[in-house]
Amino acid sequence: MPTIKDVAARAGVSTATVSRVLNGEKVKEATEKKVLAAIKALGYRPNHIARSLKTQKTQTIGFVVPDFGPFFMQVAEVVEDILNSYSYSLIVCNSNENPAREKERVRMLVEKKVDGLLVVPTGDTASHLREIQQQGTPVVLVDRMVKDMQVDCVLVDNVNGAYQAVEHLITLGYRRIGLINGRLEVTTGEERYRGFLRVFEDYNLSVEEGLIRTGDFSTESGYILMKELMGLPDPPPAVFVANYYMTIGAMLAVNEMGIKVPRDLALVGFDDMELTRLANPPLTAVVQPMQEMGEKAAELIYKRIGGDNTGFPQMYRLKPELVIRDSTSPFRKTKNLEVI
């Protein structure tokens, strides 16, 4: 592989000059031509590692997601596209919804000297991230927030999303509404829970605590919890599942149990994927603006890396939207009776 020295020799100039044309600084036009010619002739490509060593920048940003499933990968795709267009590259890592592994992956990215970090935190504490931030690496939280840290974040208004879902059910006449939710230590879980409660408060109705279930965001736990709910002596005629993967699990359970939606059970899910549209029946769901989330996250981290700290700590609260499809129909007394 030819180095900058080879180019310099061939063009009859110093390495400094070559470096200058490489970085678009001003040089005499004649010299630039010579250098460019030498670069082309030798097939020279600058060595990013050497450059990074000197400049302390890697033109790379890291993204730690809790899983490689469709939701976060769709966000990652948007982020990658935007960052690529700024000639940054993206390293996506999987924390497996596990705080220890998250710490581990973050450490790895920091050791790789990424210029910035996008993180979907898996726990409620963030000492490891605060540290990194203090060392000067910009950090942007995506989808979830942590309490103990001043940090930029791109979030969805989960309270409002859950609120819309549950209000929809209330409006259809349901009073006994089941909730299948994710871990409360992560803000999405906690906020969706709050949204759920708030509807009851606002409508002056009492919640039936026994219909609330908390799992771990996984398909399995959605499946188990839905079976649990439907196995109750008096199962709820409507259920809100507050997370995409859990929604899949819940649908699977319902299918297996032969429960007919919406006849026997009204179901509201989360996120709009192929599956939710394809389902039989197509699912009423709270859909999150994934595209926008990716865009905001990418633009924000890019801005911070560029040293622009205006508005810190910035918080975006994107609005989710309730899409009404066929899995919810007005309440009928007989609902669920045949299942009991």
Partner DNA sequence: TAAACAGAAGTAAACGATTACATAAAATCA
Partner DNA sequence: TGATTTTATGTAATCGTTTACTTCTGTTTA
Contact positions vs a second copy (CB under 8 A): 1, 45, 47-50, 52-53, 58, 60, 68-70, 73-74, 76-77, 80, 89, 91-94, 108, 111-113, 135, 219, 248, 251-252, 255, 274-275, 277-280
Q: Which option in DNA, a second copy, none does residue 15 bind, with CB closer than 5 to 8 A by kind?
A: DNA
| CB 327, min distance to a second copy, A | 12
| CB 56, min distance to DNA, A | 7
162: CB partners within 8 A, 6+ apart: 191, 192, 193, 194, 195, 196, 240, 242, 286
Q: Which is nearer to DNA, 16 or 337 (CB)?
A: 16
| CB 92, min distance to a second copy, A | 6
Q: At residue 234, what are phi and psi to the nearest 5 degrees? A: -130, 80
314: CB partners within 8 A, 6+ apart: 152, 153, 300
Query: Helix H segments across 203-289?
Result: 219-231, 244-256, 274-278
Binding site for DNA (CB under 7 A): 1, 3-5, 12-20, 22-23, 26-28, 30-31, 44-47, 50-51, 53-56
Q: Which option in a second copy, DNA, none does residue 85 bind, with CB closer than 5 to 8 A by kind?
A: none
Q: Which is nearer to a second copy, 173 or 281 (CB)?
A: 281
Evaluate whether 244 touches 66 at the Cβ level (below 8 Å): no
Q: Which option in DNA, a second copy, none does residue 12 bind, with CB closer than 5 to 8 A by kind?
A: DNA
Q: Which option in a second copy, DNA, none does residue 58 bind, with CB closer than 5 to 8 A by kind?
A: a second copy
Q: Residue 110: count other Cβ atoms within 10 Å of its Cβ.
A: 16
Look up residue 217 and give its amino acid: F
What is residue 282's DSSP assignment?
Answer: P
